[in-house]
Amino acid sequence: MKLIIGLGNPGVSYSETRHNIGHMVIDKLQLVKIPGAIIKKTGVFMNESGSFVKKLITDHKIPASALYVIHDDLDIPIGEYKIQFARGPKDHNGLKSIDENLGTDEYWHVRIGVDNRPSDNRPMGEEYVLQNFSDEEKVIIDRIIKEVCKKLETLLINTN
């Protein structure tokens, strides 16, 4: 059994922000049936993600190594992504919460790049991730969401 979690904040006001890219991927991924996979969006604020994930892992008896967390990443440019085991961004409060609650960072990180800040006038990351994508960025994000879903579908079906 695998657990795929998309990080984000609840509520309409956050639904199109960079921080909610995990929820956006889950919206598309839930349209696909992946045998042996539980696919969920967090129903809590980013900083409280750990308790949500811990409950699911405990209830379904899933090891951390079978967890895939989909999240925004400011260390990666918009339009790119990485799927890595035990490797996340330097600073992400949702992941810190998960690491603390699970007692490990040894799970899969689906790192989706959301950084498109100008080099000469970079807003702080905490502010930037709560901004909506521009219309031009949405085109890029729609493409990358499709790529990530296809990659995860292939990866998860081949590892069951």
Q: What is the pLDDT of residues 71-104, one digit of tens each?
A: 999 989 999 999 999 987 678 999 999 999 999 9
Task: Give bridge partners of residue 158 from the DSSP assignment.
Answer: none
Alpha-carbon torsion angle 143, 149, 151, 154, nearest 10: -140
Q: Give the residue-averaged pLDDT of 4-16.
A: 96
**pLDDT(145) > 80:** yes
pLDDT over threshold 80, residue 159: no
Confidence (pTM):
0.94
Tell whether the model's pLDDT for residue 127 goes beyond 90.
Answer: no
Domains of the chain, residue spans: 2-158
What per-residue string of b and e applies to 28-52 under the rule 16 or more CB within 10 Å gives b?
Answer: bbeeeebeebbbebbebbbebbbeb
pLDDT of residue 119: 79
Position 123 confidence tier, pLDDT thresholds 50, 70, 90: confident
- Which pLDDT score, from 0 to 100, does residue 5 have? 98
Q: Which CATH class is domain 2-158?
A: alpha beta
* Known active-site residue 19: yes
The one catalytic residue in 19, 23, 92, 109 is 19
How far apart are the C-alpha atoms of 147 and 160, rounded to whole Å? 20
pLDDT of residue 160: 62
